Chains A and B, each alone.
Chain A
């Protein structure tokens, strides 16, 4: 079983839709959880950061972490064509250690 599982998609939605992206993981030591957005031929851009369990909201983006289920989610409300990108979940167990990434989900938002 891979440490981090993420459905690669592709996921296609119309503009204005609510998008749900998910990752599951197997290592119960993970406590730092991040979502990155990566546009084609660009570096990953940090979108959301969560420590331990709980929800975090930032504008149209909401990140949720359920450590009991080893499941993290990213919700995008009122999706825009500019949200079209690959979304990578990443996590680590200790500060200063390597992030373990999911394989990324490719999202396409059509206008």
Chain B
């Protein structure tokens, strides 16, 4: 069973389009994250949700809007795609309780290419 899954795996689209990436976790975690990995492989946090509530919102353009319909799902919608949005987007989840181990588990990534 896949712990953290993302769809689609690859996404090729043109500038100006709107696209969504979906993430699901079956680990029973209550916190989910979106990270962006740039061409130099550097991973950086974009958003974090805890029990459907936005916790972290780093300096990310307003064109990016996360949505969490329930604590097992976190989607990322991107409006008006730009060339610079090309990257790999990773979803992750963790059990954000100090009584538990604070490991974050990552999905396989969505490779977005904007042409």
Chain B residues proximal to chain A, CB less than 8 Å: 4, 31, 33, 40-45, 48, 50, 55-56, 58, 90, 92, 94, 96-98, 100-109, 111
Contact = CB atoms under 8 A, between A and B. Distances in A.
Nearest to A103: B42
B90 A44 contact: yes
Contacts, number: 69
Nearest to B43: A101
Contacts of A18: none
Contacts of A43: 4, 90, 106-109
Interface residues of A, number: 26
Contacts of B107: 43
Given A32-B102, A51-B101, A103-B40, A98 B56 contact: yes
28 contacts: A32-B102, A34-B104, A41-B109, A44-B43, A44-B90, A45-B106, A46-B103, A49-B101, A49-B103, A51-B101, A90-B43, A90-B104, A92-B102, A95-B97, A95-B102, A96-B31, A96-B55, A96-B102, A97-B48, A98-B33, A98-B45, A98-B56, A99-B45, A99-B92, A100-B45, A103-B40, A103-B41, A103-B42
